[in-house]
């Protein structure tokens, strides 16, 4: 094993290099103590926890988007991404007339999609702003694409709320010591750490603070897409991100609150694609006859499985967890446990309406349904 380990050149700490302004043009830099095995980098520097007087955008990073959008990676090789994703309390809608005070990453449920390439480095900063009333509709100049896409989203209607709680960030796409990087921070504190995208895939991120079930069900989850270094072997005409998740809400008067007993019993009130029962029904995905559509699908759970299916199509290729090593052909459904993801492709056979469903129909009838419309461009 020692012969396989190659200590990387020492360098300055990446975390001290740049302000939080999207992607650095410089490639990933080595830091003291890192080592490499089979091209994968391990041994990140210790996380830092501090306090800062930050009142800026809660989401920073030029490859941070709102589902179902996925940012293009318009650079060659690898890169260091400066990413901020603050945790906020927001009142959001998950179905017509059903809103609750969610715990969020960046103000939406699910949180923003982060897109990076295998081998990229992420310098991540998160401030716990659960004790502030933060508006997500007033982004600053040069804000992440996430903000424009959120402003076009008529569903969640986020409103600032205050619900002070300790929170943390658990990136499934990171290979680090969880007790260091995924530590909980209190309201007003900021944590900063690094990770390298060693493995391609569709990954979940979530809050790992106890009760993890409660924090996840309250809305603290999202997707990281790590594209393979050399890309996928096919060329897609359209790429969309779909995150399935459950909500456990009970009505109290005119309000809705989280129901922990329902969550423990795995009895969701709503199951959604991209956070709202209408998100992909009223605003369907678009394609044309003959197009190759690539879906990045994540089942965030927190409890249930998903049998993802497109009515009228067969998945031409599927890469389970998004890894090229895990290729399947000719799949009618793809079974995803909680936190599993996959990249699924299909050819649109003809003009028409193609429904997207969790083929576990009790979930589809709770809201896990959407649509893709194939029609000539107008």
Whether 283 and 245 map to the same domain: the answer is yes
Report the distance separating Cα 216 and Cα 222, nearest Å.
Answer: 10
State which residues form the domain around 154: 40-227
The answer to whether the beta carbons of residues 356 and 370 sit under 8 Å apart is yes
Whether 91 and 203 map to the same domain: the answer is yes
For the beta carbon of residue 38, count every other beta carbon within 10 angstroms.
Answer: 8
Sign of CA dihedral 341, 294, 199, 189: negative
* pTM of the complete model: 0.92
- Residue 170 inside a domain? The answer is yes
pLDDT tens-digit series, residues 32-80: 789 999 999 999 999 999 999 999 999 999 999 999 999 999 999 999 9
- Residue 352 inside a domain? The answer is yes
Whether 310 and 362 map to the same domain: the answer is yes
Indicate whether 23 pLDDT > 90.
Answer: no
The answer to whether the beta carbons of residues 296 and 202 sit under 8 Å apart is yes
Whether 288 and 359 map to the same domain: the answer is yes
**φ/ψ of residue 261, rounded to 5:** -65, -40
The predicted model gives 2-21 an average pLDDT of 40
Whether 56 and 82 map to the same domain: the answer is yes
* Residue 316 banded pLDDT, cuts 50, 70, 90: very high
- Residue 8 inside a domain? The answer is no
Number of continuous H segments (helices) and E segments (strands) in the chain: 5, 30
CATH code of the domain covering residue 97: 2.60.40.420
Residue 135 in tokens: 């508006």
- Residue 182 inside a domain? The answer is yes
Tell me the three state secondary structure of residue 113. Answer: strand
pLDDT tens-digit series, residues 322-337: 999 999 999 999 999 9
Indicate whether 13 pLDDT > 80.
Answer: no
Report the distance separating Cα 197 and Cα 106, nearest Å.
Answer: 21
Whether 267 and 118 map to the same domain: the answer is no
- How many structural domains is the chain composed of? 2
Report the distance separating Cα 203 and Cα 170, nearest Å.
Answer: 11
Whether 213 and 249 map to the same domain: the answer is no
Whether 323 and 292 map to the same domain: the answer is yes
pLDDT tens-digit series, residues 68-125: 999 999 999 999 999 999 999 999 999 999 999 999 999 999 999 999 999 999 999 9
Q: What is the pLDDT of residue 326?
A: 98
The predicted model gives 169-186 an average pLDDT of 98
Mean confidence (pLDDT) of the chain: 91
Whether 199 and 256 map to the same domain: the answer is no
Domain end call among 170, 199, 227: 227
Could you give the count of Cα atoms lying within 13 Å of 246 in the half-sphere of its Cβ?
Answer: 26
Whether 198 and 100 map to the same domain: the answer is yes
Domain end call among 201, 227, 253: 227
Whether 267 and 162 map to the same domain: the answer is no
How far CA 299 is from CA of 3, 202, 227, 372, in Å, comes to 39, 10, 18, 19
Indicate whether 144 pLDDT > 60.
Answer: yes
Whether 220 and 248 map to the same domain: the answer is no
Q: Tell which residue, 165, 213, 218, has the closest CA to residue 189.
A: 165
Q: What is the pLDDT of residue 4?
A: 42
The predicted model gives 3-15 an average pLDDT of 40
- Residue 160 inside a domain? The answer is yes
Residue 18 in tokens: 């740049």
**Residues in the chain, how many?**
378
Domain end call among 182, 202, 227: 227
Q: What is the pLDDT of residue 8?
A: 41
């Amino acid at each position: 094993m020692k012969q396989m380990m190659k200590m990387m050149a020492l360098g300055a700490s990446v975390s001290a290099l740049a302000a939080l302004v999207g992607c650095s043009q410089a490639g990933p830099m080595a830091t003291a103590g890192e080592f490499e095995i089979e091209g994968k980098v391990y041994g990140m520097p210790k996380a830092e926890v501090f306090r800062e007087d930050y009142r800026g955008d809660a989401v920073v990073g030029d490859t941070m988007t709102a589902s179902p959008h996925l940012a293009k990676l318009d650079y060659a090789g690898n890169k260091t991404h400066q990413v901020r994703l603050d945790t906020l309390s927001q009142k959001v809608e998950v179905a017509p007339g059903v809103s609750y005070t969610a715990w969020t990453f960046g103000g939406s449920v699910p949180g923003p999609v982060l897109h990076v390439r295998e081998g990229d480095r992420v310098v991540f900063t998160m401030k716990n702003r659960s004790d502030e009333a933060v508006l997500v509709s007033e982004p600053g100049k040069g804000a992440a694409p996430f903000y424009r896409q959120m402003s076009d989203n008529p569903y969640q209607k986020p409103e600032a709320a205050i619900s002070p709680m300790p929170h943390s960030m658990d990136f499934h796409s990171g290979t680090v010591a969880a007790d260091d990087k995924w530590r909980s921070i209190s309201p007003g504190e900021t944590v900063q750490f690094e990770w390298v995208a060693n493995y391609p895939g569709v990954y979940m991120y979530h809050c790992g603070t106890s009760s993890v079930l409660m924090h996840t069900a309250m809305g603290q989850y999202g997707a990281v897409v790590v594209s393979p270094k050399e890309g996928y072997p096919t060329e897609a005409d359209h790429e969309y991100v779909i995150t399935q998740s459950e909500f456990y809400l009970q009505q109290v008067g005119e309000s809705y609150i989280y129901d922990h007993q329902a969550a423990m019993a795995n009895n969701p009130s709503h199951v959604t694609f991209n956070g709202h029962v209408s998100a992909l029904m009223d605003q369907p995905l678009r394609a044309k006859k003959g197009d190759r559509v690539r879906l990045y699908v994540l089942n965030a759970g927190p409890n249930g499985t998903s049998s993802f299916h497109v009515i009228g199509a067969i998945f031409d290729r599927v890469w389970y967890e998004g890894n090229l090593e895990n290729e399947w052909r000719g799949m009618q459904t793809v079974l995803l446990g909680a936190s599993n993801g996959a990249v699924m492709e299909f050819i649109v056979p003809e003009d028409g309406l193609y429904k997207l469903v969790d083929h576990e129909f009790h979930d589809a009838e709770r809201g896990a349904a959407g649509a893709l419309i194939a029609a000539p461009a107008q």
